[in-house]
Amino acid sequence: MAERRPTIADVARRAGVSKGTVSFALNGRPGVAAATRERILEAAEALNWRPNHRARSLSVSRAFALGLVIARDPSLLGSDPFFPTFIAGVETVLAERGQALVLQVAGGGQAETEGYRRLAQDGRVDGVFLTDLRRHDPRITLVDALGLPAVTLNRPDVPSPFPAVCLDDRPGIAAVVDHLVGLGHTRIAHVAGPDDFLHGHGRRKAFLDALAAQGLPAGRVEVSDFTASGGTAATRRLLDAPDPPTAIVYANDLMAIAGINVAHGLGISVPARLSVAGFDDTELSAHLHPPLTTVRTDVFGWGQVAARSLLALIDGESTGDVELEPARLVVRRSTAPPSAPSETSPATPYPTPEES
């Protein structure tokens, strides 16, 4: 005869509490004293109790999963450090609750729309994260019409019924510009993300506003796509200009790293002849040659807070917007005072993979 699986009633009996209290404790709901929660967790561990999500989902019409639809080329997704870090933050929260993340990678347009429709119609998720907000984002209306609870990363520029978890990019971009102006740079350019993305548009505007606040004319802006290849092409356009910049602010670290490689290939020393700054402070940025000046954001923490907010919304709790700690500048050795080309010898170009 198969051994009977322990139930939530067994956990309640062993801990000396009601089944409702066990449910609240195991689902991270408020209203359970720390000592009581600890006693319940110890009882569950002693009994080797695990939640039966199949039975729970059938009884309460819940999937016990959250959804994330990413409209990116799958072949490029692994090179973007944002999503793996964000997902890791989400997963730490879901693991505590015994829940799952359903990830769909789709192209833009109709494929992305159908991704949300499938998640809703199949009942595969209880709610979704809305990332990479666009200007006049149609997904707000779509997800609301599908009846899916959602949390947006930053506030959309259209009316939204969903709570937002917000990280203000502007102080970080302004700090980069102020830092470069303080070093003596006046020809500062920006490699921006797509202008239809709110964060790409916002970082571009923050860059131009910061230059204006310093009394400088608008710097040249090259719009790119947050990829290394896009950063490479944009950097070449800037450095091939008759009057190239002495400093470039990139909208993410990936494009900045590509930009440093372009400069080295052209024999332009970083930072002696070109200062470079990124955005995100990815792990690799501190280990480059030279280490990258960048703007630090807590993407892992962003994922954790977004997951908690979405779970609370699904549980019927009153949720509002959450403001995270603003982005801040991290100064490393990729920025320095500008110098004329004649004042420094060209850097030895790094070998290409074929040459090394």
Copy the structure tokens of residue 304: 């954790």
Q: How far is CA 335 from the centre of its chain?
A: 25
Q: What is the pLDDT of residue 123?
A: 82
- Write the pLDDT tens digit of every residue in 249-281: 999 999 999 999 999 999 999 999 999 999 999
- Write the pLDDT tens digit of every residue in 89-146: 999 999 988 899 999 888 767 888 888 998 888 788 999 999 999 999 999 999 999 9
Rounded distance, CA 77 to CA 68, Å? Answer: 14
Rounded distance, CA 193 to CA 61, Å? Answer: 40
Q: What is the pLDDT of residue 275?
A: 98
Rounded distance, CA 323 to CA 157, Å? Answer: 17
- Contact between 155 and 148 under an 8 Å Cβ cutoff? The reply is no
**Ordered structural domains, the chain, with CATH:** 65-167+299-327 (3.40.50.2300), 170-296+330-343 (3.40.50.2300)
Would you call 235 exposed, middle or buried from its count of C-beta atoms within 10 A (0-12, 13-18, 19+)?
A: buried
Report residue 38's pLDDT band, with 50, 70 and 90 as the boundaries.
confident
- Contact between 207 and 173 under an 8 Å Cβ cutoff? The reply is yes
Beta bridge partners of 101: 66
Rounded distance, CA 128 to CA 143, Å? Answer: 9
Copy the structure tokens of residue 23: 């449910």
Report residue 342's pLDDT band, with 50, 70 and 90 as the boundaries.
very low
Copy the structure tokens of residue 38: 């600890």
Interior CA angle at 76 toward 232 and 95, to 5°?
130
Inform me whether the pLDDT recorded for 64 exceeds 90: no
The pLDDT of 203-232, averaged and rounded, is: 94
Rounded distance, CA 144 to CA 161, Å? Answer: 8
The whole-chain average pLDDT of the chain stands at 86
Beta bridge partners of 130: 152
- Contact between 255 and 191 under an 8 Å Cβ cutoff? The reply is yes
Would you call 121 exposed, middle or buried from its count of C-beta atoms within 10 A (0-12, 13-18, 19+)?
A: exposed
